[in-house]
Amino acid sequence: MPSPGRATIADVAREAGVSKATVSRFLNHRDTLLSPDIAARVERAVSALGYSPSPMAQALKRGRSRLIGLVVADVTNPYSVAVLRGAEQACQEAGYLVMLFNLGNDSGREREAMAALASYQVEGFILNTLGRDPDAATEATRQGRPVVLVDRRHSGMQADFVSLDNAQSVQMALAHLQAQGWRELLYVTEPVRGVSSRAEREAAFREACHQSQQGGVGPALAGQTFESHEALPEAPEAPMQALMSALQALRERAGARPAAVLSSNSVVTLRLSAAMARLGWQWGRELGLVGFDDTDWAPHVGPGISTIAQPTHDLGRLAASCLLERLRGLTLAPRQILLPGTLLARGSSQALNPERL
């Protein structure tokens, strides 16, 4: 009698009255080593039991799993989903499958994620994580598998790196706001410490504002930054109130100078829009706005939110391509690939009336 559940090679051998080695020869197309009678018995047993060999087991016998491990900080973030799609498409075209591990924004699980995926014999890793776990680099070295980093660098990890050109994108956003007449700026970001992409954007914002004030060409930009935190369960209104207060302070500080906000990502943009609604304000009227990440809902909020669109699909494909090149034996020094963002101007940053300048 076959075992309950999925049939095994032992069940086939028992049904056919042969050894497991004989069944293995048949399955590996070495039936020329078998007599026609034995080959026919094994074939009938395979058919009767509905047996199919495990793709994983077959791959491991060949020394290749054809699996790529992808670790993301937060699968609910539209950015991560878009990168995943691009990476998955490139992997599928090359005959690989992607295994996903979602950290749920718990940076302390990065090493655990890599160890878990390694247990499934993934051939390499694509990491789109916070980059705060110091043990992740150690785990990558221990695994001896190639790694490609997306968006966020890991201290001490020598690996290919694929990302948006953050400095170029910030400069483009601020040049647009300045051209539209906005002068007093507030940069709103999630906590910066330990996350390279956030740090790069904040540094670019500060540098651009400084250069504007030193340049002496046209009205200067004045900028400050504000860290927007996740709502705390014990005080859900406190973070929103802090964000509303920051927007009110921006208008007060600006006085007669038109004020605008640069948002570091779509998560922050959504919080900002909620704060604006609470205040009864509208983008493009009380405050201007440009936000990183172009989401499906951005054109439909107020007059439409101006965004810096990231080439997320291309970033995912490039990350997968870099990893596949390493798996094929490429031994170049770690590469850094930065892609430009695209400005999509909408009503939230529209040109101001001349009397407001």
> 288-322: per-residue pLDDT in tens?
999 999 999 999 999 999 999 999 999 999 999 99
Residue 138 within any structural domain of the chain: yes
* Rounded-to-10 torsion of CA 148, 129, 117, 106: 170
- Give the chain's domain count: 3
Average pLDDT, the chain: 86
The domain that holds 40 is classified in CATH as 1.10.260.40
- Measured distance CA(262)–CA(87) in Å, rounded: 29
Residue 4 within any structural domain of the chain: no
Please state, as a whole number, how many other Cβ atoms lie within 10 Å of the Cβ of residue 265.
23
Residues 18 and 71 in one domain: no
Residue 60 within any structural domain of the chain: no
Q: Average pLDDT, stretch 218-236?
A: 60
Residues 72 and 144 in one domain: yes
Residues 346 and 215 in one domain: yes
> 166-201: per-residue pLDDT in tens?
999 999 999 999 999 999 999 999 988 888 999 999
Residue 3 within any structural domain of the chain: no
User: pTM for this one?
Assistant: 0.78
The domain that holds 111 is classified in CATH as 3.40.50.2300
Residues 209 and 285 in one domain: yes
Task: Give percent of the chain with pLDDT exceeding 70.
Answer: 87
Residues 285 and 301 in one domain: yes
> 128-150: per-residue pLDDT in tens?
988 887 777 777 777 788 999 99
Residues 170 and 305 in one domain: yes
Residue 198 within any structural domain of the chain: yes
Residues 111 and 175 in one domain: no
Residue 85 within any structural domain of the chain: yes
Residue 284 within any structural domain of the chain: yes
Domain range enclosing 15: 9-53
Residue 61 within any structural domain of the chain: no
Residues 144 and 254 in one domain: no
| Tokens encoding 190 | 């999630």
Q: Tokens 């095994």 identify what position?
A: 8
Q: b/e for 231-257, b at 16 or more Cβ within 10 A?
A: eeeeeeeebbeebbebbeebbeebeeb
Q: Are strands 336-339 and 259-263 parallel, antiparallel or unpaired?
A: unpaired
Residues 47 and 139 in one domain: no
The answer to whether the CB of 87 falls within 8 A of the CB of 99 is no
CA end-to-end span of the chain: 86
Residues 137 and 233 in one domain: no
Please check the confidence at residue 62 and state whether its pLDDT lies above 70: no
Residues 77 and 180 in one domain: no
